[in-house]
Structure 1
Amino acid sequence: MEIILKQDIKSLGEKDDVVNVKNGYGRNYLIPQGFGILATTSAKKVLAENLKQAAFKQDKIKKDAEGIAERLADVKLSIGAKAGESGKIFGAVNTIQIAEALKAKGFEVDRRRITFETDPKMIGEYVANLNLHKEVKVKVPFEVVAE
């Protein structure tokens, strides 16, 4: 029996895979639990069209991310923070501050896509990693300055 999986199943396959399973496993477990649907010819055509549209959307998202990455190549940010005399800042610079600084420069980046190589807890220069797409990653240098 051929089944189209609706979600990832560890020992069987990933979402949108067409897999062969025993009749009882498909009829009594996968289909009633909503983990898969019967792979008829019409269901396969719908799956092929959905995969084609999803690939087109992913390609567009990747191209947009590459365009943003090219424009971010020469951007350097400056983040102000309250600091003591030794150069240690009170608190830490977080991803929200980086996202706001990027927004001020005209780049809309979700804060959850920003990570740091080292946590910025002192005045100095650091690097923020922006994960714009699973295949497009950009390193943006920023400087923490005392206010």
Structure 2
Amino acid sequence: MKLILTTEVSGLGAPGDVVEVKDGYGRNYLIPRGFAMRWTRGGEKQIESIKKARSAREIRDLGTAKEVAGQLGALRVRLKTKAGDSGRLFGSVTTADIADAVKAAGGPVLDRRRIEIGNPIKSVGTHRVSVRLHPEVAANVDVEVVGA
């Protein structure tokens, strides 16, 4: 099945890319969640608008991405959330929570879709989170989760 990606999908491609995937993966996962749309000749015209929107959001070049990675590496991010007596959180920390905490700590504005959490954050403590700034640059941010 030939699809046009509308958002970035890890291991598959970036918005505006035309990809060939198995029918079930496209029909049952990518299309219903809005990650992709069916490829048509008319859809090819939309590729340009998708790529323009992506370039407006994306960090322009490799040098800027490395500069932002340096900022993120030096940043101290604290996130207050509700926790029980044993240090276990009520719920978990989301990528949107992390993006807001980075912004509040004086860091750059991050797109929540670029933040990757390895294991769900469900306890108080320091957790390492990866941020994909550019295809070649990923920054690690230490997030300190504090019970409120």
Return closer, same or farther for 1:101/1:135 CA change in 2, 3 Å cut-off. same
Q: Counterpart of 1:73?
A: 73
- Match of 2:95, as an amino acid? T
| CA deviations over 1:77-128 (Å, ceiling 9, x no partner) | 1111111111111010111111011112131110000011221101111011
What SS does the aligned partner of 1:132 have? strand
- Match of 1:90, as an amino acid? F
Q: Counterpart of 1:100?
A: 100
Question: Residues 59 and 134 of structure 2 are in contact (CA less than 8 Å); yes or no, is this contact kept in structure 1?
Answer: no
- Match of 1:118, as an amino acid? N
RMSD: 2.6
Distance 2:95 2:19 in 1: 34
Q: Counterpart of 1:133?
A: 134
Structure 2 unaligned spans of 5+: 1-16, 21-40, 45-57
Q: Shift of the alpha carbon at 1:35?
A: 10
Q: 4+ residue runs of structure 1 moved beyond 4 angstroms?
A: 7-10, 33-36
Task: Give the TM-score taking structure 1 as reference length.
Answer: 0.59
- Match of 2:114, as an amino acid? R
Distance 1:69 1:9 in 2: 30
Q: Counterpart of 1:20?
A: none
Structure 1 unaligned spans of 5+: 1-6, 11-32, 37-57
Return closer, same or farther for 1:100/1:8 CA change in 2, 3 Å cut-off. closer
Return closer, same or farther for 1:9/1:82 CA change in 2, 3 Å cut-off. closer
Distance 1:64 1:133 in 2: 9
- Match of 2:103, as an amino acid? K
Distance 1:82 1:59 in 2: 34
Higher strand share: 2
- Match of 1:133, as an amino acid? H
Q: Shift of the alpha carbon at 1:61?
A: 2.5
Distance 1:78 1:9 in 2: 39
